[in-house]
Structures are given as C-alpha cells and as structure tokens.
Structure 1
Amino acid sequence: MKATIFLSLFLIGSQFHYYPFIGLHVVQGSYPNTQQRQSTLDQECNTGDNVWHKIIPYNADFAFRLYKEMSSTIEDKNILFSPISISSALAMLSLGAKSETQSQIYKGLAFNLSEIEQNEIQKGFCQLIHRLNSRNLKTHVKTGSALFLDKSLEVLPTFLEDVRHLYDAEDFSIDFLNNTGAKQHINDYVKNKTNGTIINSVKYLSKNTRMILVNYILFKGYWEKSFHPDLTIEDFCAYGNTTVKSNMMHKVALYKFVRDEELFCSVVEVPYSGVAVALFILPDRGKLKDLESSLVKEDLDKWRTYFQYKNIDLWIPKFSTYQSYDFKHFLQRLGIRNVFNQHADLSGITAEHHLKISEVLHEVVLVINEDGALGGHSMERLSLSRQGLEPSFRGGLGFPPPPPPPPPPLLMKFDRPFLVFVINSSTGTILLMGKIVTPN
C-alpha cells in the first residue's frame, strides 16, 4: 500500500561563546518574571479560550515570506520545507530569548506584537501542536521536539518546564565533549522518531556545541481518489527547458479547480482521506518567476473562495525527493540576526554562559505515489453519463432529442515546474510548501 509521505527535520545548534554580552538590556516590565511566566503559560495552554486559530494567518505569512526568499536564490533545484516545523521550533527557542533577540524572532516569524500577545503566540502553538497530533485513522501527522543539552550546561528550570508543557518537548542531558557519542545519541533519536527515514542527521559537531534543538514532523496521507496503478512515462520540461522522463500518475475525476488569471496559474486541490489536502499549482509557461514573486498568503483564501468542482483529466509526476538546507542565511534575510552573532541574548535558557545559534539545519523528504487507498478503500473513476432507460427511438413526436454529450474533461498535465502545498484542512496549517523543478 502506498501513500503520500513527507518528513521534515529541523535542527538548531547552539554554541558557547565566552565574550561579554553586548546586546540590548531587557526593558523593565516588558517580560514577566520566570516563575510567573512558567505558571501563566502552562495554565493558559490547557485552560481558557482556544487561540490556536489566531496564529494561523501569521504562520501562513511566514511561510510565503520564507518561500519568496528561497525561490529568489534557488531557481534550478527543487524547494521543499515545512513552515510549521520551522516556526514552532523558533517559537520554542523564543522562550529562552530576551530583548532584541526575542523581538527579531517574533518579527521574523511574521508576528506583530501590537496585534497578538506573546502568551497568545505560545498558547496558540501549544494548542495547534496538540490538534495536529490528534489521532486520525486516515491521515497521520506526528510532530514533536527535543532538546539535547550538555551535561555541564545549567539550564534555567523555567525554560525546561515551558518547552515541556507547551511543546511536548523531550530533553536529554548528554556529553557534547564526547563528540562521537553525542552524534550517535542525537542520530539514534532522530532515526527512531522518523521511522528510519532520516539517518545520520548530525554529521558534524563543533567542539563548542552545547545544545541541539530538534523538531520533526511526519505526514502520511492516502488519496481520497487513488490514481490508476498503471503509470505512463511522459516528458517533463525541467529547469532550463531540459527534458527528462517522468512517471506520470493519471486520474479522471471531479476535483476542486480554480484558474487565477492575475497570477497566470491553475490550481487543483487533491484531497486526502481525512483532514488534509494537497494543492498543485501549475504556472503558465514562462510565468513561474512571476508567480513566485507575487504569491502571498491572501491568494490561498482567494482560491478557496473561487474553487469549483470540475471533471479533470489529471496527470501528476510520481516522485521521491530529499532536500537539505542551512536556513541561517534565509532567516537572517527575514530579520532574525542577533541570535546568530555576538548580540545574541539567550539568557532565558541559561544565566551562566552566553549562547548563540551556530547552525539551523532543515531536512525534508517527500514521496508522492499513485495509490492512496487505506484498508482497501478506493474511489473509482467518476463518469458523467446520463442515467435511466434510453427511449426505443428518437426524433419522433413526443420524444425530446437526446441531451448533448458531456464536455470532455479538462486536461491538467503537470509536465513542467510546479508548486505543491500540503495543508491540514482542519486547522488551515501549511504542513509542506515547495516547488518541483525536476521530479526524481
């Protein structure tokens, strides 16, 4: 049995640096004391109003901003990342950040603190993570976080309590000076949590590394309308008009469709059985860069408003791809700078030494297959034929002429670079976002 699968891994590595802290001082009264903060955050996550929906638009805004930064520098390769994995990891890190370092993280994540409070952001992520991890028999989302802390690092207990209660994060005390043992410990954890999909995620550790923050998300979904098992080899016009052979999945069925004349693209929504959908976005020939430079979060709402069911002859490449990035450069371009330099203020994590972030690694595995049936369930091809008995003869008095045949299905062939989003439909969370330039 085959399914659409993607797995995201996000690693943040922190190092000790023995220099005087020269960042901005915390404004008195701008941040609650540690005991009050721990108690307030823990209580608000599990009681009171649901606020998870408040952070969804900001998360979407962050996703599109980050994609725009990536696509402006990555043209000839596939782009894949998990916005929710990155944003939740950085939001968790912000619990230990202060002053300008913390402000930059929130701003880089597209949050406007004049519109939404910090406690609402943290509570929203807590509630959202619980919703995404809710068991569903037809779609499976598993997300989690872990902290690997050097045994010599005296971490503030309030920070550990916050990440445990708000982000369900596990924490481990290890000896980073034992370079080989530390790598083995982290890699074994990641391998276990990702069902063996990602191995050797940490290939190098600096001698100054004292903390690794891990966030992972695993998605497994089954198509509501499974594609035909017989694949067709077709030409795919990859980057630079290079033609490659691609295994094409094929299905004729009713799908939600919208034609966006402003963005010169067509959008097909392919649902999973359960609470997720995939959006396949095909730009007109020669319009990929225009689409990437213009696309904003409001376009998702626009497409949802104007979606119509159409009978579509759909062709999508079957592929499996792996992408790995150091996100430090992209995050700096979004304004998250201090946490990477001598101005870093992560004194909410430890009061003894000054930490800065040394690397931000993101790995994504995406597999799209043709068979999406779960437990033997499948949807057969939908036909638009007229039902009922045919008249014994036509054209005579009292017998109306036969209705015209249904129009042929709309041909949608993703045989050139296209965009793909995977969205949790119960929350509107963008789980995966990317561009396929060459299906592997």
Structure 2
Amino acid sequence: MATPFQFSLFQDLNKKNVGKNLMISPLSIYHILSLTANGADKTTLAEMLKVLQQEDKDKLNSANKDISKGISKIGSCEFANGIFTKFDPEKAFTDVAKKYEADVTVLKDVEQVNKWVSDSTHEKIPKIIDSLNKDDLMILLNAVYFKGNWKKEFDQTLTRKNTFMNLGKDKKECEFMNMTEKLDYVEDDDMQAVSLNYAKDNMKAFIVLPKKDDINTFIGKLKSEQYTKTVKGLKNQKIALSVPKFEVNFEADIRANLNALGINEAFSDRADFSILKKENDLHISQIVHKTFSRVNEKGTEASAATAVTMTRNLSIDADPKPEMIVNKPFLFIIRSDKLPTDHDILFISKVEQI
C-alpha cells in the first residue's frame, strides 16, 4: 500500500529532527519531483527515476496521472502545480507540464512566487522562499490544502487538561479531546493505532502510538509492509480515545535527504536538464518543503508546499477496553483509499512536542 518513498524520506528527515515536530507531504514532494524529472536526461534522469521508483518517464507520468485523478475525487483537498520561469522551456517539457496542469508564468520576483503559495494554501503557508538571485531561472511549485471535519466530532465539553510527555520525558499540561465510540482500531506488542474518519471523501486520520520504543526508534524501524498490515488489521470496536489538540509547522530544504536516497547529479553542475532548457546549464539549487496542520475537536486543516529552484550552473554544490491515550510522541497520517494504493498518504507527521 505504501511505497518505500513515502517513509524513506520521512525517516531520513527524522534523523536531523530528533526532539522536534516533523511533518511532510510525500505526495507533494513526489509529484513536483516527477514534473522536474521530465526536464532531465541521462544520469540525472536515471537517478531521479530510481528514487521515484519508476522505470521510465511514461510510467512516472502515468503514476502521477493516477494521483491527480485520485485527488480530483477528494473535494476536501486542493492540489495545484505552477511554474515560474525567466526563459522559455523546451516544448517537450511544456507539453508534459500541461498534463500536470502546471501553468507556466514569467518569473518576475519572489513576491509573485510567495503569493501563489499563500493563495494555494489558503494563507496557511504565506511564504515558501526568502529571496531570488539573478541566476535563479525557474521555480517549480506544488501546493496541497486539506480541510476536513470529523465524521464524529469530539464533544468540546469533554475536552480536559491532561499531561503529554514532550520528547517522551518532559511533562506538559495541554488540552485532550476525548470520546468513547466504536472506531477502527488495532494493537499488537509494539503499538496501538486508530483510524478516525472525516465526514467526506473517504479521508481518514491514522494515529499510531508506540508501546515499547520511543517515537524516533519506532520511526527508524518503520516498514511499508508493517504500515500495510496495520491498516488492513483495523477492526471496528468500542474504545476510549484521548488525543491532544495540536498544531505543527515544519520547513526544510530536503536536498540532502534526497541526496541520501540517491539523487546526486541533479544538484551539481553536472546535471543534465537539457529537455527543460536546450543550453543545459541548470541544476537544482534548493528544494524547500513547508507544511502546516491544526487538529481540534471539529477536524483537521493541513497544507503543504514544495518549491524546486532551478539555478544557472556556477560550478558550485471510562474504561472500555482497549484504551488509547495519546499522551506521548506519536505519528499522525492523513490518507485516502481513493488515491492509488502506493501513494495513499497525503501528509505524515511526527508529533514529539505539544
């Protein structure tokens, strides 16, 4: 169900974010990297295809067509691509960009780029990049926005103060939402997990609470097969659930993480983006990913934006059982059965501090 890409990038990012909250949209990153890969050739393309786990561009674009088709069926989710450029891209690339529904616009200034991101995320991500230099020739953008009410909202009168173990050890008092309902739930020796339905579009929140390991050890061991088994093992049963209200903001330049997964040449002056620009003088200078989420009694609001900057080469580099009390670091995943089975995760978060 979940491809290694959905977790491998998250796991690599987590190594540098121990003790911090972490949230990414693997779908956003995968989609905009796929569009960027359509401008690549030779070794640059081969490395990107390997990390994106596709044999060739046709299969890559077919996978992303399925993603777009799935997203279009989710009314509570908005998905957008955009390209801002100082040069005229090659026709072979713009033809593909049309299939990704990415409008090509003349790049004038950083405010123009940030406004696109702000508008596309309902102002939840007001800025994606700080500045542009004269050699930044193109910005490829993806934005995702989701807002969903719970199918069964938490009763606000049952919200109570309780203790969350920040970083798994430091106590912090915060507001916990509570309900006792029949929910899709599973547990084993290593973890508890519950799935909460949103009111529309077959969207679900999936909360995973480790039992033995701390959250970072648990994430390091996470396998796609385990995720699939857990989702399939959910059974509807009555449980007492207590979950903190929380908000997560995260941002990172993910080049080093993608480098660790196997994309190398695209970030150097050896990069071959000749399908994008015939002069073949571009490399990826940064890939900024920003996310936001807020979870409360009514539901969830979440957004993500990814910006790929293409730069001219400069030769540089009460006590029903079971009971699930989410009072320590946990995973929060927003997923949909309407998406392709190997790209079903819109957002995945680690909440280590409240």
Give TM-score, length-normalised by structure 1. Answer: 0.72
Equivalent residue number for residue 104 of structure 1:
47
Using the alignment, how far apart are the partners of 1:353 and 1:73 within structure 2?
33
The residue aligned with 1:186 is 113
1:81 aligned to 2:24? yes
Quote how far apart the aligned CAs of 1:352 are: 2.1
Name 2:334's counterpart in structure 1. Answer: 422
Q: 1:314 aligns with which of 213, 238, 241?
A: 241
Aligned 8 A contact 1:78 1:436 in 2: yes
Q: For 1:151-166, list aligned pairs within 5 A.
A: 153-165=87-99
> 1:126 corresponds to which residue?
65
Q: Which amino acid aligns with 2:330?
A: F
Deviation, structure 1 residue 407: 7.8
Aligned-partner Cα distance in 2 for 1:174–1:288: 42
Q: Distance in 2 between matches of 1:135 and 1:78?
A: 27
Q: Percent identity?
A: 23
Counterpart of 2:105 (choices 172, 177, 180) is: 172
Match of 2:293? Answer: 366
Pairwise CA distance, 1:307: 1.6
Moved more, 187-196 or 428-437: 187-196
Deviations 1:375-415 (A, max 9, x none): xxxxxxxxxxxxxxxxxxxxxxxxxxxxxxx9824221100
* AA partner of residue 90 (structure 1): L
For 2:8 and 2:234, the matched residues in 1 are separated by: 24
In the TM superposition, residue 87 of structure 1 has moved relative to its aligned partner by 0.3
* Cα shift readout 1:196-232 (whole Å, capped 9, x = no counterpart): 2221322121221000011000111111111011321
Partner of 2:82: 146
Residue 437 in structure 1 maps to residue 349 in structure 2: no
| Deviation per residue, 1:100-136 (Å, 9 max, x gap) | 1011111112x152xxx53122022023213202353
List runs of 5+ in structure 2 lacking aligned partners: 301-317
Counterpart-to-counterpart distance in 2, 1:294 and 1:236: 23
Q: Number of aligned pairs?
A: 332
Question: What is the alpha-carbon distance in structure 2 between the residues aligned to residue 316 and residue 102 of structure 1?
Answer: 44
Deviation of residue 353 (structure 1)?
Answer: 4.2
Once residues 223 and 284 of structure 1 are traced to their aligned partners in structure 2, the CA distance between those partners, rounded to angstroms, is 26
* 1:218 pairs with one of 122, 126, 145: 145
CA RMSD of aligned residues (A): 1.8
Mark the runs of 5 or more structure 1 residues left unpaired by the alignment.
1-55, 176-181, 374-405
Residue-by-residue CA offset, 1:51-110 (whole Å, 9 max, x unaligned)? xxxxx65xx31011111112222210011000000000001111000011011111112x
Instruction: Report the alpha carbon displacement of residue 434 of structure 1 after superposing the two structures with TM.
Output: 1.7
Matches within 5 A, 1:365-404: 365-372=292-299
The runs of at least 4 aligned residues of structure 1 exceeding 4 Å deviation read: none
- Kindly provide the amino acid, as one letter, of the partner of residue 47 in structure 2: Q
Conserved? CA contact 2:23–2:349, under 8 Å = yes
Q: Which residue of 2 aligns with 1:70?
A: 13
Partner of 1:268: 194
Aligned-partner Cα distance in 2 for 1:146–1:154? 15
SS of alignment partner, residue 163 of structure 1: helix
Give 2:156's match in structure 1, choosing from 229, 232, 236.
229
SS in 2 for 1:119: helix
Aligned to 1:327: 254
Deviation for aligned residue 1:240: 5.6
Letter in 2 for 1:209: D
**Match of 1:268, as an amino acid?**
V
Could you say which structure has the larger radius of gyration? 1
- SS of 1:154's partner is coil
By how many angstroms is 1:294 displaced? Answer: 1.5
242, 247, 261: which is aligned to 2:170?
242
Taking the aligned partners of 1:353 and 1:259, their CA distance within structure 2 comes to: 53
Task: Tell me what 2:311 maps to.
Answer: none
Task: Note closer, same or farther for the CA distance 1:154–1:407 as it changes in structure 2 (3 Å cut).
Answer: closer
Instruction: Identify the residue that residue 30 of structure 1 maps to in structure 2.
Output: none
Contact 1:84 1:430 in 2 (8 A): yes
Corresponding residue of 2:263 = 336
Contact 2:129 2:288 in 1 (8 A): no
Structure 1 counterpart of 2:94, which letter?
L
Instruction: Select 1:201's aligned residue among 103, 121, 128.
Output: 128
